[in-house]
Amino acid sequence: SFSVHYASFFPHLLAAQRKQIDAVLAPFLLSLDTLREVKNKMRAELEYGLKRETQASATVKMLPTYVCGTPDGTESGKFLALDLGGTNFRVLLVKIRSGRRRSVQMYNKIFAIPLEIMQGTGEELFDHIVQCIADFLEYMGIKGARLPLGFTFSFPCRQGTLVGWTKGFKATDCEGEDVVDMLREAIRRRNEFDLDIVAVVNDTVGTMMTCGYEDPNCEIGLIAGTGSNVCYMEDMKNIEIVEGNEGKMCINTEWGGFGDNGCIDNIRTKYDKQVDEGSLNAGKQRYEKMTSGMYLGEIVRQILIDLTKQGLLFRGQISESLRKRGIFETKFLSQIESDRLALLQVRRILQQLGLDSTCEDSIIVKEVCGAVSRRAAQLCGAGLAAIVEKKRENRGVEHLQITVGVDGTLYKLHPHFSRVLQETVRELAPQCDVTFMLSEDGSGKGAALITAVAKRLHNIGRKRGLIDKYLYAMRLSDETLIDIMARFRREMKNGLSRDFNPTATVKMLPTFVRSIPDGSEKGDFIALDLGGSYFRILRVKVSHEKKQTVQMESEIYNTPEDIIHGSGTRLFDHVAECLGDFMEKQQIKDKKLPVGFTFSFPCRQSKLDEGVLITWTKRFKASGVEGADVVKLLNKAIKKRGDYDADIMAVVNDTVGTMMTCGFDDQRCEVGLIIGTGTNACYMEEMRHIDLVEGDEGRMCINTEWGAFGDDGSLEDIRTEFDREIDRGSLNPGKQLFEKMVSGLYMGELVRLILVKMAKEGLLFEGRITPELLTKGKFETKHVSAIEKSKEGLNKAKEILTRLGVEPSHEDCVAVQHVCTIVSFRSANLVASTLGAILNQLRDNKGVGRLRTTVGVDGSLYKMHPQYARRLHKTTRRLVPDSDVRFLLSESGSGKGAAMVTAVAYRLSEQHRLIDETLAEFKLTHEQLLQVKKRMRMEMEAGLKKKSHETAKVKMLPTFVRSTPDGTGTELIWCKGRGDS
């Protein structure tokens, strides 16, 4: 751009020298494809640094900082902060106020660190630091106070241990040592004061925390100054080098080492290599040497020397000043590249450096500076794009909004660096809306904020520890889950056995659904869906044009409480009335459409269109239905009305409907799972294992009715006092015990009981218990889902608890969120263990080493809870590692699924009808068979008579064999044939 701008002034320069200058600067011009390649390589290095097996050899170290949260506005108090990251050392006193008048006040003093101390011994360096701290404490009059302290130590550390010096520091006996221990030792040696050292942090982390105090969306910190580095909040589940899966932790990438393995050698120039070879740490921090302020001036100097040698600058004369390493500082790049600066002023800057330049020289120098700084900004942008893309994928969103906190002289003072950096990020990460926020004293204020957050999290952690101890029984190890999986597998076997089924808790009910949709179904169907207080009727049209499509129209009808708890006659009269209303609205009362009935209660079936209710669940209590066929009851109610007719072809469970709905889209689907108000699963079992049904060929869907798992006492070792209290207060004590531990109907109540008990023991709400908190049902499962949302969960907790009359502190809200997490996590783990048993059964049935299958899922808990699905998937894959399981969300499983079961049944019945029609003439009546017998007798008689033998159809030929063996003969008979005897 500079060459075009000045072309009219110096055409002779551009014509004669342009080609040589372009050749020198060409390697600094990076294409978009090259920058994408850098981004992808950075992403790969980030992943290597997070993995346990590759972290040791990774160039991007991805160091855990143990900073597990950003400021939330509740931090308050006085804190000391130390800031060591260059030739100056700062000590600060930071006062943080929370609440409406939230503010941060800072007092600081700067102390120089002489070169001889920077490159002396570690003991001398830390003694000097402590001397500076003592001076500051005395200056502020707080030498006797023991304040929490945060130490911004802007060098690569692993858990507080210095990995290696950068930025010109070379103090001996420090690398491999814990810097906090060295600081404490120096404080002890001085023996004048004491400090509570809470946190040691990197300047990038301080930057992120400072901006995070103003903008909660800030989860990335970038330093673009003397050095170059980034930190960001990473999901704990991705950090293999640290124990734990929940929450987030700030990772100090130490990305300056990117490329130390040679992966970006294709874009390093000879000038980069010269700068590297002349540095204190040759071969290391190669990316930083291409992007940071400490080295950009030196890269420019090397280029200017080369151009001078080629006779393109300074009349070919290399001055003594140009030979001096470090003479061309990065601040000169910023000044020279200023758009407001005239060429005459650029020339003056060069003359101050001892470089006797012409205006033509000024043009070239300005262009060199532009090429070097632009490349630095682009490379920095490519690295940052890799991180924001990773953040987007972590959150599982198509579009990410995020803030990057930034500090550093290069970003702040260079006239173009920030713009080029931002443009590059936008270009390389188009699905991320990135806001850049300038940090206000990140290394100082940030260190204090980290200390404040650490103190807050320490208090929360202490309370969380008490909760964990209190709810220890709800945390189930993988060993326990594998044991539960084995127990459930035994119950499945018992339920399938004719001998053990009567006493089995897991009933394993045959559904007589023998296949999933094959894509050829079509027709017009009615689906009824009764499984809760709302009754739904659907009209489902399955058609074929270019491809199979499904159209649905539905109507929801309320089922009043008095009908749910009344007589069975009233209940089915209500269902028949709703169906009549629906058919009238659809104008199909004159048609007799096939009907599928989703009846989401345990039924025993002997055929597809029959369902004998075993027991009511989900608060239903209608009398006279248990032990009766619900299809007959419904048909009776429809006949009583007499204004329409219905062909009820199938009665199905909602799990079967879910499996069939998903099977319509994915023919590998052979498991249906419901995790909502209730919980249950079905799957396709081999007929040879189902003792309860005749036949060994093919498969049949089995409705496990797993909610009753444990009703025989087999889960007593993992049930808690809260589970028992839930059971005692339910409509069906002693029944559906597994469902009461995992389903949405009971989860909120389970949390409420825990909160009441903890409040009584003074662990929550300062011991206050309100009447609302004591009211059964006031804490709903939807509240659990709201509280566990990552961003707004704590605000929701406060809002919900306030409605219950409690005035929760921030720590109370965090504790309640933790209780919700433990309860919902246990539910997901238990469901994963029972699902794992079904998956193992399928794998063994197929006789394969690795199972590939799809699980169709429905239910409000699975759909609405922000963490449940992910936890279930993760635990399932961990418990059943030899399987590839796809979880497919059902679309209206209980309705569409009933129609699909009916469609399959209708298809099969049509196939049987056509077969029967084809084979009808082969079916003979008894009378026809007697007639055949009579005719055969007549033909036999005709064949025996001499008169009629010739014309007889049945010839009756004599064989001359006159008797059959009588068992007494011993004669040897010779038979003459073809040489045989």
Catalytic residue (one of 292, 373, 600, 743): 600
**Residue 735 three-state SS:** coil
Give the active site residue among 536, 539, 826, 871. Answer: 536
Residue 713, classed as helix, strand or coil, is coil
Tell me which H or E stretch contains 178. Answer: none
Phi first, then psi: give them for residue 475, nearest 5 degrees.
-90, 110
Q: Is 696 a catalytic residue?
A: no
Rounded Cα–Cα distance for residues 706 and 743 (Å) = 12
Judging by DSSP bridges, how do beta strands 851-858 and 883-889 pair with one another? parallel
Rg of the chain on CA atoms, in Å: 40
Helix (H) or strand (E) holding 709: none
DSSP 379-418: HHHHHHHHHHHHHHHHHT-SSEEEEEEEE-HHHHHSTTHH
CB neighbour burial string for 608-619, b if at least 16 within 10 angstroms, e if fewer: bbbbbbbbbbbe
DSSP string, 321-384: HHHSTT-S-HHHHHHHT-TT--HHHHHHHHHHTT----HHHHHHHHHHHHHHHHHHHHHHHHHH
The residue from 276, 361, 573, 654 that is catalytic is: 654
The rounded distance, in Å, linking the Cα atoms of 670 and 855 is 7
DSSP 567: B
Q: Whole-angstrom Cα distance, residue 671 to residue 663?
A: 9
Q: Which residue has the tokens 């106070």?
A: 145
* Token couple for 626: 């248990």
Instruction: Using the structure block, give the residue that is written with the tokens 């029967």.
Output: 916
Output the CA–CA distances (angstroms, integers) from residue 605 to 157, 646, 680, 821, in the order listed.
Answer: 66, 20, 17, 39
Q: Which of 231, 102, 51 is nearest to 156 (CA)?
A: 231
The label of the residue with tokens 């048609």 reads 591
Instruction: Supply φ then ψ for residue 173, to 5 degrees.
Output: 60, 30
Look up residue 614 and give its DSSP letter. Answer: -
In 3D, which of 551, 542, 546 has the Cα closest to residue 521? 542
Could you write out the DSSP letters of every residue in 864-882? HSTTHHHHHHHHHHHHSTT
**Residue 218 to residue 207: CA distance in whole angstroms:** 10
- Contacts by 692-700 with C-beta closer than 8 Å and gap 24+? 692/496, 692/498, 692/501, 692/508, 692/510, 693/510, 693/512, 698/514, 698/515, 699/514, 699/515, 700/510, 700/511, 700/512, 700/513, 700/514
The answer to whether 313 and 304 have CB atoms below 8 angstroms apart is yes
Q: What is the C-alpha separation between 833 and 742, in angstroms, rounded? A: 12
Q: In whole angstroms, what is the distance from residue 437 CA to residue 104 CA?
A: 18
| Phi and psi torsions of 233, nearest 5° | -85, 115
Structure tokens at 772: 């609302």
| Cα 618 to the center of its chain, rounded Å | 31
Known active-site residue 666: no
**Is 43 a known active-site residue?**
no
Q: Which two tokens stand for residue 567?
A: 């007589």
- Whole-angstrom distance, CA of residue 711 vs CA of residue 691: 23
Beta-carbon contacts of 276 under 8 Å, excluding residues fewer than 6 positions away, are: 282, 283, 286, 289
The residues assigned a catalytic role are 536, 600, 654
